[in-house]
Amino acid sequence: MSTSSNLRRRFGPRTCTPLALAIHLIAASATGVLCTSIAHAQSAAVQSYDIPPGPLSSALNRFAQQAGVAIMFQSNNLDGLTTPGLHGAYSEHEGFEMLLRGSGFTAVKSANGYMLDVLPAAGGAMELGATQVSANQLGTITEGTGSYTPGSIATATRMVLTPRETPQSISVVTRQAMDDFGLNSIDDVMRHTPGITVATYDSDRTSYYSRGFAIKNFQYDGIPILQDPQYSAGHTLTDTAIYDRVEILKGATGLLTGAGGPGGTINMVRKKPTHEFKAHIDVGAGSWDNYRSEIDVSGPLTESGNVRGRAVAAYQDKHSFMDHYKRDSEVYYGILEVDLSPDTLLTLGADYQDNNPKGSSWSGSASLFNSAGDRISTPRSFNNGAKWSSWEQYTRTLFSTLEHNFDNGWVVKGQYNHQINGYNAPLGALLDPNATTGLAKMLARKYTGEYVSDSGDLFATGPFSLLGREHELVIGGSVSKSHWTGKDYTNAKMVNNAYDYYNWDGDSLEPDWGNVTSYNDETTRQTGAYMTGRFSLTDDLTLMLGTRVADYTLTGTSHAKDTGKVLPYAAVIYDLNDNISAYTSYTEIFLPQSYYRDRDNKMLEPDEGTNYEVGLKGEFFDGRLNSSLAYFEVHQDNRPEADTAYNGNPTNPDIDYAYKGIKAKTKGYEAEISGELLPGWQLQAGYTHKVIRDQTGKKVSTWEPEDQINLYTSYKLTGELDKLTLGGGVRWQGTGWQMLTNWNKGGVEEKFSQDPYWLVDLMARYQISKNLSTTVNLNNAFDKSYYTNIGFYNSSYYGDPRNVMVTTRWDF
C-alpha cells in the first residue's frame, strides 16, 4: 500500500484539510504515538520518483538528493553511461539498482551513505577518477531536492548528523523554501523561521531573538563571526542568493562558537558548484519600485569534472513604504572546487556585497511622545530620517577549505575565512516635536568603521571501535582575530535646526561634521580546542560528550580577558522506535562584554548562558519528514539591560546610555515539523512558548511575544494542473508589551502593548515550460498594521504593509 493510501486510512479520505493534517502530525510526533500505517511506510522506505532519462551520473545525484542520502562514486567511470530514468515508487536500494541496471555497477550501503561497487574492466582494474559526493562535512546540499527539510547537518557538533540525531533544537530554511517565498535576505529568512523574533531598530538595523536572547553568533560554512551589538556592518543585510540553506541552532552553542550569546547561532551555508552544467536567471518586480535580478551559473571546468566552478550575481533596487527611503544592494559570489585526488578536495571562494541606502531612519522611524510627554501617532509611511541620512554597509570575504578522506572513514578538514565588514553612516533624524509649534530638532551624528576578521579551524572526525561497538569522534581547534577601527562624529554643526515634524519631507542640509570626537581601535583574539565523542552504548542508546577550552582577549580602547574557559557539552539520545527518539542535552556559552557599560563607565561582567533541553525527535518517510518537541530552560548571568533610571538623566560625561547586569531565566517549549507530508506537499511549521524572568521573578524582554506560530506550505498540483504550485503561510504572535519611561513627564512609566496579530502570505508558481516559470508572492495579504519594535529610544517601527513581488525564472 502506498504512503498516501496509508495516510488516507489514518486521517480519512476527504475531510482532513492540510492544516488539520499538519497539526495531527505535530501532535502525534510530540507524544510518540504515530499511527501504524506511517511506521509501516517508513519501514518499507518507499518513495515516488520521476527522474527523466539522461546521463547516469546526473540521475544518481538527483535520486540521492530526493531520497535524502549520500552517494559516492568515481565520476569518470560513468562517462558515456546513460539511464532510461526512474518512474514510480521504489525503496532506496531498489531505486539505485534500477538506475544502475546494465551499467556494471551496484550500490552498496555504508555507514556514510551509498558507494558504488566498481567492477574491474576486462584485463585490469578501472582507473580512478574524480570523486563525486552528494553530501559533505557541512551536511547534505538542499538545492535541487525540492524539500523543506535537510538530509543532514553539522552545525551543532561538526559531526554530520540527521536532525533526529542532533540533540538540540534546530530549524533549517532550505533553498526550496527561500525560492518559493522570495526570501531574498537573512531578515526574510529569520521572519520565516519558527521561534525567531525579528526586532527592527530602524530602516537598516535588525536584531534576532531566540528563546528570549539576542542571537549574536553568525557562521559562514561553520566558521563563526561575532556580530557587534552596536554597529551594524552587513551581517543582517546579507543576500541569500549565494546560500544553499540557513541553519538556526537554538540555545547556547559554545562548543563550536566559543564566545557568544545564549540565544543561538545562525549558520549560512554557501552554494556549491555542481557536477553538471546548470544556470538560471531571475528577474522580478514588485511593490514600491522593487526591482531585482539574479544570475547563477555552475558546472565543470574540465573535461573530467575534477575542477568545478560557480558564479552568482544579484542586484536589487528597492524603495519602501516609508517616505523618501530606498536601498540598492549588489552581491557577487564565486567558488571553485578542485579534486586534487580522489580523496582530497580543495575549495576556494570569495563574495562581495554592498548595501547603499538613502533616507535611512534612525532609532526607529517615529517618536512616540511630543515635548509635553503626550502620546502622538504618525502614518506608517512616516520616516524620521533626512534624505541624506544613510547607513551604508559592505562585506568582502575570501575563504578556502582543504578536506581529505582516509580509507578508514576518517576526514580531516581545514578552513580559513577572511572577512571585512564596514559601515559608513552619516545619520540625521528628527527628535520629539514641540507640543505647541510642532517643530522638531534634528539629531545628527556620523559613524564610520571597519572590522577585519581572520578565522581558521582544523578538525578531524571519524569512526573508532571500542568494546565491540563503533563510535564517532571529533577533535579540532580554532583561532580567530578581529580588528575594529572606527570614528565617531558627534559634534555636528546644524543650520536652521527646526523642522515641521508633521509635514516632514526629509529635506534638510547635511551638517558640517567637524572633527572626530572619538576613536575606536579594538582587537579581539579567540582560540579554542574542542572534542566531541558520540558513543553507541547500545543499538538504541547514544551518549554524546564534548568540551571546548576557550581563551578570549580584547585589547585597545576596551579591555576584556577570559582564559581557560571550559565549556562542556553533554547529551543522551534514546531511540524509542524506528521513527522517534528521546533526548536530553546540556550546553554552555560565554561572552565578555565589550560594549555594555554601567553608569560608572565600567564594562559589565561576562555574559554567561546555560541551556538545558529535553525532547522528542521524529524522522519519517526515510528522512523526508522531520519533527521535534522540546522543553528548554536557558539560564543567563549578567544579561545587559538598559539602566532606565540613569538613561533619562545621564550625569556621567563619558557615557550617555548605561546598562546593568541581571540574571535571567527562560522556560519554554517548542514544536516543529518540516518536510514532505505527501508527494508534492511541503511544510515547515512550528509553535513556541516561552517566558523570561529576572532574579526577582519580574518578566523581562516582554516585547518578544510569549507565544508564536509559523506555518508555511506549498503543494504542486497534479493532473491537468500539474504546472501549478500553490502555497502560503501564516505568522501569529501573542501579546507583546514594553514599559516606556516618559521623561517628558518627569520619568513616568507607561505601558505600551500590542495585541496578538496574524500575518498571511500567499504564493503561486506556474511552470510555463520546462525551463521557464513565474512566481507571485503576496505578503501581508490582509494589510495588517503592526509594529516590529517599540521603545527603542521611545520610538516605534512598523512592519511592512501588504506588498507583492512577481519573479520570472529561466533555467538552462
Cell of 539: 543499538
Query: Which pLDDT value is given to residue 84?
Result: 74
Give residue-wise pLDDT tens across range 561-606. 888 999 999 999 999 999 999 999 999 988 888 778 888 888 788 8
> Considering just the CA atoms, what is the radius of gyration of the chain in Å?
27
DSSP 111: T
- Is the confidence at residue 52, as pLDDT, over 90? no
Give residue-wise pLDDT tens across range 703-729. 889 999 999 999 999 989 999 999 999
* pLDDT cut 90: percent of the chain above it: 61
Query: Residue 392 to residues 74, 202, 357, 666: CA-CA distances in angstroms?
Result: 47, 13, 6, 35
* 762 vs 103, higher pLDDT: 762
Query: Which pLDDT value is given to residue 74?
Result: 56
If pLDDT is split at 50, 70 and 90, which confidence band does 18 have?
very low
If pLDDT is split at 50, 70 and 90, which confidence band does 108 have?
confident
Give residue-wise pLDDT tens across range 507-542. 999 999 999 999 999 999 999 999 999 999 999 999
Query: Which pLDDT value is given to residue 77?
Result: 62
Rounded CA-CA distance 241/189 in Å is 12
As a whole number, mean pLDDT of residues 472-496 equals 93
Query: Which pLDDT value is given to residue 516?
Result: 96
Give residue-wise pLDDT tens across range 322-331. 999 999 999 9
Residue count of the chain: 812
Compute the mean pLDDT over every residue in the chain, rounded to the nearest whole number.
Answer: 86
Give residue-wise pLDDT tens across range 599-634. 888 878 888 889 999 999 999 988 899 999 999 999
Rounded CA-CA distance 171/182 in Å is 18
Query: Which pLDDT value is given to residue 497?
Result: 92
The CATH code belonging to domain 268-381+394-475+483-508+527-811 is: 2.40.170.20
As a whole number, mean pLDDT of residues 476-503 equals 93
Number of helices and strands in the chain (H, E): 9, 47
- Is the confidence at residue 400, as pLDDT, over 60? yes
On whether the CB atoms of residues 461 and 472 are closer than 8 A, the answer is yes
If pLDDT is split at 50, 70 and 90, which confidence band does 658 have?
confident
Element (H, E) at 58: helix 56-67
Close Cβ partners of 15 (under 8 Å, ≥ 6 residues apart):
none
- Is the confidence at residue 131, as pLDDT, over 70? no
Closest by Cα among 62, 41, 247, 222 to 163: 247
- Is the confidence at residue 404, as pLDDT, over 50? yes
Give residue-wise pLDDT tens across range 168-205. 999 999 999 999 999 999 999 999 999 999 988 899 98
DSSP labels for 160-201?
Answer: -B-TTT-SS-EEEEEHHHHHHTT--BHHHHHHHSTTEEEEEE
* pLDDT cut 70: percent of the chain above it: 89
- Is the confidence at residue 262, as pLDDT, over 60? yes
* 781 vs 224, higher pLDDT: 781
If pLDDT is split at 50, 70 and 90, which confidence band does 64 have?
confident
On whether the CB atoms of residues 421 and 451 are closer than 8 A, the answer is yes
DSSP labels for 514-567?
Answer: -S--EEEEEEEEEEEEEEEEEEE-SSSEEEEEEEEEEEEEEEESS-EEEEEEEE
* 719 vs 730, higher pLDDT: 730
